[in-house]
Amino acid sequence: MRDPNHIRNFCIIAHIDHGKSTLADRFIQMAHIVDDRKFQNQMLDNMDIERERGITIKSQAVSIPYTASDGINYTLNLVDTPGHVDFSYEVSRAISSCEGAILLIDASQGVEAQTLSNMYMALEHDLEILPVINKIDMPAADVPGVRDQISHDLGLDGDEALAVSAKLGTGLPELFEALVRRFPPPRGSAEKPARALIFDSRYDPFRGVLVHIRVVDGRIRPGDRILLMNTGAVHEVEEVGFFRIELSKTEELAAGDVGYVVAGIKTVSDVRVGDTITNADVPAEEPLPGFREVKPVVFSSIYPMDTNDYDELKIAMEKLKLNDASLIYDKDNSVALGFGFRCGFLGLLHLEVVQERLEREFDQSIIMTAPSVRYKILLKNGQEIFVDNPSEYPDPGRIETAEEPFIKAQIITPVAYVGNLISLCVQKRGVQTSFTHLDEKRVEMIFEMPLAEVLFDFYDKLKSTSRGYASFDYDVIGYRPSELVKLDILINGKPVDALSQLVFKPGAYERARKVCERLQGAISRQQFKIAIQGAIGGTIIARETVNPLRKDVLAKCYGGDITRKRKLLEKQKEGKKRMKSVGDVDLPQEAFLAVLRTNEDEQ
């Protein structure tokens, strides 16, 4: 029987790239729960995309045995949280399953936007916060400076912050001891009716869905009938266990434990992160607080490159959905691209992750249409509708007013870039609501701005404008009035529905011009002239032309090289497979991307 007093549940919170995954790796290595030879960097980041991009998309957890200097064996449960604003609700659930948080700060970067927002989140959940300065081995490390920032910006005691190098292992033994000493043991009682917080779930092809939980009260055992309190679903527990890199089966999970439950659940969509598991026969009175439905904020359609591959794409989407509860999709169809799916995402990163997983894990060749936010439209007949798909945009004559989602954007930047960043935000229709000097070098600015403006290239521009020093975080704050028009793109006079987008009216001309320009660059010459036009209603507002191909023929064909000439054509044909025929015009995949990245060549 584990004594809850010897359990410590904690997470690591940090701004992206401050070394969270490296520190997690060190914990795992030092605990010797995985064979050194089987060790791979970023153990907890299972997906290729996570490793490549250095970000964590799914929450993961691991139990680490640790014998402290007091001679007692402790169980340290590390809950690794996703590291991106798109997944901030998941982060909040993971945080609320812990009692302590390591707030990791890069010794040369200092406190950044996500450091602050994550710390606020941890404070909201009454976590004990242990500031840790990482990467002290870097030449640009400024440990005393970061201690000052911790005291000044975060209101914590900078002198108490530990200084470590996760990469080299420096300071880690002290960190282990501090975890045990500083973080409180879990509260809650094993004798009360069961209550466990779901902080993530994962699909396992052999066992079905593994539900990741933190048990707050009571016990959960195989054979128990469990109730998911917010969805009302009842399941029977088949197996419970701990995360030890591999899954480690056990007889029960009790108050204070972090582990998994297998209960015959078929897909992750049947499980809501943030929901409370209780015993269906002896239920708790109240679920744990903080549950909410996560709603997608970015929408785009996915089509197979080759319309014949729709069924294959459908299977891939279903499989992807097994493991990604945040992905929402519905059947969609386009005149230009045939059958596909309208999808909702938590943010642009989530969209990119889905795109990459479809292409890499499922080998699908796909086209994604321009991402859109969900607009709120009040019709003249008093009806209120939500529109995220340009094809469903009502006739302008029927529209009374339109509203679009706004965000509160928090930017932390060195003073030198303030001017440029304000221009950028103003250009993106941002309104500044706060300006605070964090210290003599850094400033925190809050803007309210439309989410749609952040979708396209805001993050890239923020980084390039500030040479990578500014950091950014946001929350959706609600709908604000907007002026909306539907921008159509015509190829040789025919509107291509998949290229349409809903845009802010005063910016429509500029957007149309850029999209046409980029399409011109992306479409290769064909045997006839191609006209590319941007239009609002019936009015053409931008135009570009692709001139016809002058010459495309293989020179001189004699008797000896018929095979070679044929093979050259076969090779060309392979290249053409990556094209989408719209009418008589072949559009490369990049043409659809061109609509997304309208400002890349501006700088």
Asked if residue 556 binds other proteins (CB under 8 A), the reply is: yes
Whichever of 205 and 560 has its CB closer to other proteins, that residue is 560
Instruction: Compute the least distance from the CB of residue 574 to other proteins, in Å.
Output: 10
Smaller CB separation from other proteins, 476 or 531: 531
Evaluate whether 268 touches 323 at the Cβ level (below 8 Å): yes
The residue (of 289 and 548) whose beta carbon lies closer to other proteins is 548
Site membership for other proteins, residue 553 (CB under 8 A): yes
Whose Cβ is closer to other proteins: residue 434's or residue 527's?
Answer: 527
Query: Quick check: 563 binds other proteins (CB under 8 A)?
Result: yes
Under the binding rule (CB under 8 A), the answer on residue 205 touching other proteins is: no
Query: How many other C-beta atoms lie within 10 A of the C-beta of residue 138?
Result: 14
Per rule CB under 8 A, is residue 381 in the interface with other proteins?
A: no
Using the minimum distance from each CB to other proteins, give the nearer residue, 126 or 570.
Answer: 570
Q: Does the footprint of other proteins cover residue 397 (CB under 8 A)?
A: no
Calpha distance 298→476 (Å, rounded): 12
Q: Do residues 80 and 20 touch, judged by C-beta distance below 8 A?
A: yes
Determine the 3-state secondary structure of 299 from DSSP. strand
CB-CB contact of 54 with 20 (8 Å): no
User: Is there binding between residue 566 and other proteins (CB under 8 A)?
Assistant: yes
User: Per rule CB under 8 A, is residue 308 in the interface with other proteins?
Assistant: no
Check residue 578 for interaction with other proteins (CB under 8 A).
no
Backbone angles phi, psi at 257, to 5 degrees: -80, 150
Least distance (Å) between residue 563 CB and other proteins: 7
Query: Quick one: 70 or 574, whose CB is closer to other proteins?
Result: 574
Rounded (10°) CA dihedral 368, 373, 376, 380: -50
Number of residues near other proteins (by CB under 8 A): 25
Among the listed ranges 123-131, 168-176, 425-433, 543-551, the one in contact with other proteins (CB under 8 A) is: 543-551
By C-beta, is 478 or 583 nearer to other proteins?
A: 583
Q: How far apart are CA 377 and CA 399, in angstroms?
A: 7
Number of helices and strands in the chain (H, E): 14, 33
Q: Which is nearer to other proteins, 169 or 548 (CB)?
A: 548
Transcribe 204-252 into DSSP letters.
ETTTEEEEEEEEEESEE-TT-EEEETTT--EEE--EEEEEESEEEEES-
CB of 576 to other proteins, least distance (A): 6
Tell me the C-alpha distance between 133 and 163, whole Å. 5
Q: Which of 565, 590, 597, 600 binds other proteins (CB under 8 A)?
A: 565
Which part of the chain contacts other proteins (CB under 8 A), choosing from 112-120, 226-234, 367-375, 549-557? 549-557
Pairing label, strands 60-67, 128-134:
unpaired
Of 206 and 558, the one with the shorter C-beta distance to other proteins is 558
What's the closest the beta carbon of residue 553 comes to other proteins, in angstroms? 4
Report the residue from 441, 505, 549, 578 that binds other proteins according to the rule CB under 8 A. 549
- DSSP per-residue letters across 327-392: -EEEEEEETTTEEEEEEEESSHHHHHHHHHHHHHTS---EEEPPPB--EEEEETTS-EEEE-SGGG
User: What pairing do the DSSP bridges indicate for beta strands 399-414 and 442-450?
Assistant: antiparallel
Smallest distance from the beta carbon of 524 to other proteins, in angstroms?
10
CB 533 → other proteins: shortest distance, Å?
23
Determine, following the binding rule CB under 8 A, whether residue 359 of this chain makes contact with other proteins.
Answer: no
SS (H, E, C) 189-206: CCCCCCEEEEEEEEEECC
Q: Please answer whether residues 201 and 273 qualify as being in contact, where contact means their C-beta atoms are separated by less than 8 angstroms.
A: yes
CA–CA distance from 323 to each of 51, 203, 205, 452 (Å)? 18, 5, 10, 27
Residues sharing a CB contact under 8 Å with residue 154, sequence separation 6 or more, in sequence order: 103, 111, 115, 116, 119, 131
Interaction between residue 420 and other proteins (CB under 8 A): no
Question: Taking CB under 8 A as the rule, does residue 529 contact other proteins?
Answer: no
Contact of 411 with 444, CB cutoff 8 Å: yes
Cβ burial of 67 (10 Å; 0-12, 13-18, 19+) is exposed
Query: Closer CB to other proteins, residue 416 or residue 562?
Result: 562
Select the span of 27-35, 292-300, 535-543, 561-569 touching other proteins (CB under 8 A). 561-569
Establish if 573 lies at the interface with other proteins (CB under 8 A): yes
Which amino acid appears at position 150 of this protein?
I
Select from 440, 551, 602, 603 the one that contacts other proteins (CB under 8 A).
551
Taking the complex as a whole, how short is the minimal distance between the CB of residue 555 and other proteins, in angstroms? Answer: 4
How many CB atoms lie under 10 A from the CB of residue 460?
A: 13
Judged by CB under 8 A, which of 22, 526, 589, 599 binds other proteins? 526
**Which range, of 11-19, 399-407, 412-420, 545-553, touches other proteins by CB under 8 A?**
545-553
Does residue 534 contact residue 488 with C-beta atoms inside 8 Å? yes
- Smallest gap from Cβ 598 to other proteins, in A, equals 27
Of 88-96, 133-141, 183-191, 556-564, which part binds other proteins (CB under 8 A)? 556-564
Nearest C-alpha neighbor of 186 from the set 177, 174, 195, 176: 195
The correct pick among 441, 554, 578, 601 for binding other proteins (CB under 8 A) is: 554
From the list 557, 588, 595, 603, which residue makes contact with other proteins (rule: CB under 8 A)? 557
Instruction: Assess 527 for contact with other proteins (CB under 8 A).
Output: yes
Residue 571 CB, nearest approach to other proteins (Å):
10
Name the segment binding other proteins (CB under 8 A); options: 384-392, 395-403, 447-455, 555-563.
Answer: 555-563
Q: Which is nearer to other proteins, 437 or 525 (CB)?
A: 525
Span from 84-92, 453-461, 501-509, 550-558 in contact with other proteins (CB under 8 A): 550-558
Which of helix, strand or coil describes residue 171? coil
Q: Which of 52, 506, 569, 601 binds other proteins (CB under 8 A)?
A: 569
Q: What SS3 class is residue 31? A: coil
CB 517, min distance to other proteins, A: 20
Among positive and negative, which fits the CA dihedral 178, 181, 183, 188?
positive
- Contact residues for other proteins, defined by CB under 8 A: 526-527, 549-563, 565-566, 569-570, 572-573, 576, 584
